[in-house]
Amino acid sequence: MRLFAALEIPDDIRDGLQDWWLEVHADLDTDVWCDVPSHLWHVTLAFYGEVSGHDADDLAEGLCECAQNTSPLHLYTSGFGVFPKPARPKVFWAGVHEVGEIDRLKHLARCCRRVGHDTVRRQVDGKRGAKEASFRGHGKAPFGWLDRDFPGPPVMDWRCSHLCLFQSILRPEGPQYRRLESFACTAPLMGAQD
């Protein structure tokens, strides 16, 4: 199974982003961009690739531990950009940041990657293991053809209290994502209040 860890986006936030996207994507070349249905939008924290059998169970246990060591997150939308690079864009993203200076979002992403690295590298035996990548909050940067009075997404905030494990199912009509498990973020809030 192709698996990844992500945070779900609430319907009202997704609707606001969808309204923004419908307004701005008319300016984009339809030969370059292919719309992804908004019900598939999420905040990816770690992508694991193919994971099998007991490794998937171990991965879920590790993600549960990550969630239990994280208090609920207060997130907001801001900024946008493209993957993998402006010269060859494939994915258009809206940025997600954490309110305040606490960095729980970065710590959670790091924990998810570490769990994937520890779990998936056991099955490497000549195949590629989990990719190690850094998690960065997204902000607006100059993108050449995107840099012309292109309005950013509306700033909207929400509380996120669950980390999810998803399966990515590749189909000719496009990928489908199925939530396999959801883990509550249950650590008490400490330090600065947001």
Measured between alpha carbons, how far is 139 from 137 in angstroms, rounded to an integer?
Answer: 7
Number of Cβ within 10 Å of residue 162's Cβ equals 16
20 in helix, strand or coil? helix
* Whole-number Å distance between alpha carbons of 87 and 170: 25
Strand 42-50 and strand 176-184: the pairing is unpaired
What is residue 3's predicted lDDT score, i.e. its pLDDT? 96
Tokens representing residue 9 in the block: 């986006």
Task: Find the mean pLDDT for residues 164-177.
Answer: 92
Domain boundaries of the chain, sorted by first residue: 2-184
**For 2-184, CATH number?**
3.90.1140.10
pLDDT at 169: 95
Is the separation of the CB atoms in 174 and 10 below 8 Å?
A: no
Adjacent-strand bridge partners of 166: 4, 179
- Could you tell me the CA-to-CA distances from 22 to 15, 18, 37, 151, 178 in Å, in that order? 10, 6, 12, 12, 25
12 in helix, strand or coil? helix
Name every residue whose Cβ is closer than 8 Å to that of residue 115 and which is 6 or more positions away in sequence: 5, 46, 59, 62, 63, 65, 66
Digit-coded pLDDT (tens) for 98-117: 998 778 999 999 999 999 99
Q: Is the pTM of this model over 0.95?
A: no
- Tens digit of each residue's pLDDT (9 = 90 or more) over 121-151: 655 444 443 333 334 444 333 345 555 567 8
**Tokens standing for 161?**
């209290």
Of 188, 187, 185, the C-alpha closest to 163 is 185
